[in-house]
Structure 1
Amino acid sequence: MTDEEIIALAPGEHPPVPGAVKVASTNYEGARHSTRTKARKQALDVLFQAELRDESVDAVLRRRAQQGEPDVREYAAAILHGYWDHASQIDQRIAECMSGDWTLERMPRVDRNLARIAMWELDFTDIAPKVAISEALGLADELSSDESVAFLNGVLNKALETRPARRQ
């Protein structure tokens, strides 16, 4: 790792997947996000709402439009529809990358949806894997619990190792 420091696991703390490490987090206060990062955050918000309300992505987007919210960014729409088109396959891949007693349902909602976005980027786009993983970890560090970064890092790195061959 270049800019991050590996932190020892606390007594009794177990990695979510074998080989996962804990890294020092970065303070993102005052950070400016790229257009794609903003789109990922917007997609996360819509996926979170859809799951919370047990609605389709399209239903959430329609309601947001009726409430006068701005349209989602182009890349956010690509993420949302990309995930929705491959939801069962993506969720299965995430579940296969977790170890022990962890299940997709047990994951915090923010982490689960960040994993979905990153998995879609890993398996269905030409986004560089390091970028997809780094973006998910950065948003987890900013928006989720202290343990989320290490957990997602382990899950997404296993996903990268077991990624199916890309279709041409």
Structure 2
Amino acid sequence: MSGAARGKYGGPTRRAARTRAVEILYEAAQRGDDATTLLAGRIGSVDVDAIGDYTITLVEGVTEHLAHIDELLAEHAQGWTVDRMPPVDAAVLRIGVYELLWRHDVPDPVAIDEAVGIAKELSTDDSPRFVNGVLGRIGSIADRLRAVL
């Protein structure tokens, strides 16, 4: 990720961190590997650009809550199972749900908007609308979901 956008403190922007997390989750899914194992192999490797703290937080958070996240996605992605979703969309949605429910420093509209933006960059023409719809449905009940976590 050389040339990645930098935040005001010199680290990668949160958008860049989210994009990197999507890439790691996607690669792990394609390889059939655990994302945190793949991440651990990348941290400190001289062959890849440095991985920022927020990327690590996202990958570890999604992995920790994966079963619950996938359950919510299956319930709210009308007519789709997570296994049938394009893998990039699944990775984007997983990060979006994690930020909606477990990252209290990220406002719900920001979590959704960032996920839609990454879907525009990395996935199909239909993906932004799909991601917006699924996360919008989950976002509309996020307060109730957070109350029982």
If the TM-score is normalised by the length of the shorter chain, which range does it land in?
A: 0.7 to 0.9
Structure 1 or 2: larger helix share? 2
Deviation at 1:46, TM superposition (A): 0.7
Establish whether residue 144 from structure 1 lines up as the match of residue 123 from structure 2: yes
Unaligned runs of 5+ in 2: 8-12
Determine what percentage of the aligned residue pairs are the same residue: 34
Give the TM-score normalised by the residue count of structure 2. Answer: 0.83
Alignment of 1:68-79 (within 5 A): 68-79=47-58
**Larger of the two Rg values belongs to structure:** 1
The Cα RMSD (Å) is 1.9
Alignment of 1:50-69 (within 5 A): 50-64=28-42, 65-66=44-45, 68-69=47-48
Corresponding residue for 2:146? 165
Instruction: Report if the CA contact (8 A) 2:39-2:56 is conserved.
Output: no
CA distance in 1, matches of 2:21, 2:72: 20
Unaligned runs of 5+ in 1: 1-31
Amino acid at match of 1:68: D
Q: Which has the higher contact order (CA 8 A, sep 6+)?
A: 1
Give the TM-score normalised by the residue count of structure 1. Answer: 0.75
Change (3 A) 1:165 1:63: closer
Alignment of 1:17-56 (within 5 A): 35-56=13-34
Deviation at 1:167, TM superposition (A): 6.8
Given the alignment, which residue of 133, 137, 142 partners 1:154?
133
Corresponding residue for 2:77? 98
Amino acid at match of 2:138: A
Deviations 1:74-108 (A, max 9, x none): 100000111111110011111111113x1111110
Change (3 A) 1:85 1:108: same
CA distance in 2, matches of 1:46, 1:92: 21
CA distance in 1, matches of 2:55, 2:16: 8
